[in-house]
Structure 1
Amino acid sequence: MTRWWPYVRFGAAGLTLAAIIAQLSLTVANSRAAPTEWGSHIPTVVTNFLSFFTVLSNLLGAIVLVILAVWTLTRGRDRRVEPRGLAVLLTCVSTYMIVTGIVYNTLLRNVELPQGMTVPWSNEVLHVVFPLFLLADVLFAPKRRLLPWSTVAVAAIFPVVWAGYTLIRANLIIAPASGDPWWYPYPFLDPHLQGGYLGVAGYIVGIALAIVSVAAFVVWVGRRRGAPDGVAVVPAAPVAL
């Protein structure tokens, strides 16, 4: 598996980047055709696109997989485990993608979007295929490093920063599609739909618990399958769910 897993990572990252580009291209094309000033403001539209947690998580995940694949095929050939920094990054993006898959398929799967706003295959790659691949990477990828439990706290930093950024920025822009003087990437973050910020806070707490729980799971699997640097890795069966 050590020999061909880097190429699988390359493939997964390439498919994900293609999905992001396809969806961004359609989003920009729709913006160019928009009849309103706010709808056709491409800088805002592109920034909104890159403000989705799903897009950011997929983009970061693809980048980390490419870096790891290159490392494995070059300097990592004779190394037993991943570098600590890359191992922490991989734990973080794996957590974000697994949570993305869970949240989308439990809260957002049945949310209807305007016709022509989404690339169907891209949507499935970003919300289903890549999350499942990162889960498989956690369970089966070679050269897994044993990380301390404090990595769970590290994984929680980015989502907290993203949530703060989202709630602050939301009321500073006009929604391109509706013209509302606010824009939220997800309906469960919109206080106008959730009966105020208390309702939003409930969702944020729930997602925060999901992130911490999934991060703990990813670290736990790594501690069972991996080894600290300099310790020989004993082949082990994949962790059964």
Structure 2
Amino acid sequence: MTTWWPWARLTASLLGFAAIIAQLTRTLTNAAQSTTEWGSHLPTVAVNFFSFFTVLSNLAAAIMLLVAAVWAWTSGREVTREPRWLAVMLACVATYMITTGIVYNVLLRGIELPQGSTVPWSNEVLHVVIPLFLLVDVLLAPKRRMLSWPALGVIAAFPIAWAIYTLMRANLVTSPGSGAPYWYPYPFLDPHLTPGGYLGVAGYIVGIAVAIIAVGAGVIWWSRRRAEARASR
């Protein structure tokens, strides 16, 4: 597994990049064909695209899987464990992607999107394939290092920053789709749609935060269990 797993990581990375590019191309093409001023504003559409947690998580995952593959073929050849920085970054992207897969398939899969707005195969790659690959990577990838519990703070940092950014930016943006004077990347973050308004949104944020912390704790716990199993051999 040590010899071929970097190739699996490289394949997953390239697939992730391809899915992001395909969906970005479709999104910008649709925007360019829009008949409204707000719908055809490409800078806003592009920034909105990279404001989705799913897109950012997949982009980070694709980058880190590529980095991990290159590391395995270079300095990683002569060592038995990945460096701590790489272990923490892989734990971060694994946590985000596993959580993305859970949230999408529980909360968002049944939501009907405008015809032609989504590239179907890209959508499945970003929400199912890459999350599953990162789960397998956590469980089975060779040379994984034992993580300390303070790494959970590093894992939690990006989702907190993303949530603050999203809620602060939302009312500064005109929605390209509807022309509304606000834009939220997900319906459950929109106080105009969520029962209870901002209180309901807060409930969803807390729930997702708990899920991220739980998944991150699981990733760390498994790394420690694998290390203990190696030590007992």
The question of a shared fold, defined as TM-score above 0.5 by the shorter chain, is answered with yes
In structure 2, what is the Cα distance between the partners aligned to 1:79 and 1:60?
25
How far the C-alpha of 1:137 sits from its partner, in A, is: 0.2
Q: CA deviation at 1:196?
A: 1.2
Give the equivalent residue in structure 1 for 2:165.
165
Bigger share in helix: 2
- For structure 2, list consecutive stretches of 5 or more residues without a partner in the other structure: none
Matched, 1:218 2:216: no
Shift of 1:226: 3.2
Percent identical residues: 65
Moved over 4 A (4+): 233-236
Q: Which residue in the other structure is 2:19 paired with?
A: 19
Q: Contact (CA 8 Å) 1:17, 1:59: kept in 2 or not?
A: yes
How many equivalent residue pairs? 232
**1 CA distance for matches of 2:185 and 2:232?**
43
Aligned counterparts, 1:75-224, within 5 A: 75-194=75-194, 195-224=196-225
Give distance in 2, aligned partners of 1:234 and 1:144: 13
Q: CA deviation at 1:235?
A: 9.7
What is the TM-score of this pair, normalised by structure 1?
0.94
State the distance in 2 between where 1:16 and 1:49 align.
15
Q: Note the 1:226-241 alignment, pairs <5 A.
A: 226=227
Counterpart in the other structure of 2:37: 37
CA distance in 2, matches of 1:234, 1:83: 18
TM-score, scaled relative to structure 2: 0.97
Pairwise CA RMSD of aligned residues?
1.4
Unaligned runs of 5+ in 1: 228-232, 237-241
- Contact kept, 8 Å, 1:81 with 1:226, in 2: the verdict is no
Q: Displacement, 1:224? A: 1.3
Render the CA deviation track for 1:100-152: whole Å, top value 9, x for unaligned: 00000000000000000000000000000000000000000000101101111
Q: Give yes or no for contact 1:6–1:72 (8 Å, CA) kept in 2.
A: yes
- Secondary structure of the structure 2 residue equivalent to 1:172: coil
